[in-house]
Amino acid sequence: MKAIQSILPLKESDLQKFAEDYCRAVGINYLHIPDSFWKWVYKNCNTGVRCWLYKIFGGLPDLIIQIPINDKFCLSANIELKRPGNYLRKKQKEAAERVPWIVAKTPEDVMSIITEAKNFLRSVNYG
């Protein structure tokens, strides 16, 4: 799959769409809560519900890929998608201290991370 090429600055939503499309193209399972969901929550939910949702899900990365190891376990990688020049927010930094996160700022980063995860599994004879 060819990476997005443009003379315009890459928007995070473009990077998210690319990441989802790429995962589907190479057969990778993933979890992604789209920004449009969070915008809907902010617009339509009362403060108590918003706070509860943000507390539970607000520390998740943009994309969690899942590559099966066997019939019981999978390798996962937490990928935060950011535009070049943007950085992790405080809650994201705190979450990244508990479990590893990888920041992807370009479509090439996304492809490289997925390739690295697949190669890691091959190197330990899983997949």
Residue extents of the structural domains in the chain: 12-32+61-122
Percent of the chain with pLDDT over 90: 50
The reply to whether the predicted model has a pTM over 0.75 is: yes
**Cα–Cα distance for residue pair 37/55, rounded to 1 Å:** 15
DSSP classification of residue 33: -
How many Å apart are CA 127 and CA 118, to the nearest integer?
8
Per-residue pLDDT, 126 = 60
Contact 28, 78 (CB under 8 A): no
Return d(Cα 60, Cα 94) in angstroms, integer. 11
Residue 110 · residue 20 · CB < 8 Å? no
Q: What are phi and psi of 66, to 5 degrees?
A: -135, 120
Asked if the model's pLDDT at residue 127 lies above 60, the reply is no
Segment 43-52, tens digit of pLDDT? 999 999 999 9
- Per residue in 66-120, pLDDT (tens digit) is 988 888 998 899 999 998 888 888 888 888 899 899 999 999 999 999 999 888 8
Specify the amino acid at residue 101. Answer: W
Residue 107 one-letter amino acid: P
CATH of 12-32+61-122, one of 3.60.10.10, 3.20.20.70, 3.40.1350.10, 3.30.365.10: 3.40.1350.10
Q: How far apart are CA 64 and CA 51, in angstroms?
A: 22
pLDDT band at residue 3 under the 50/70/90 scheme: low
The pLDDT value recorded for residue 8 is 53
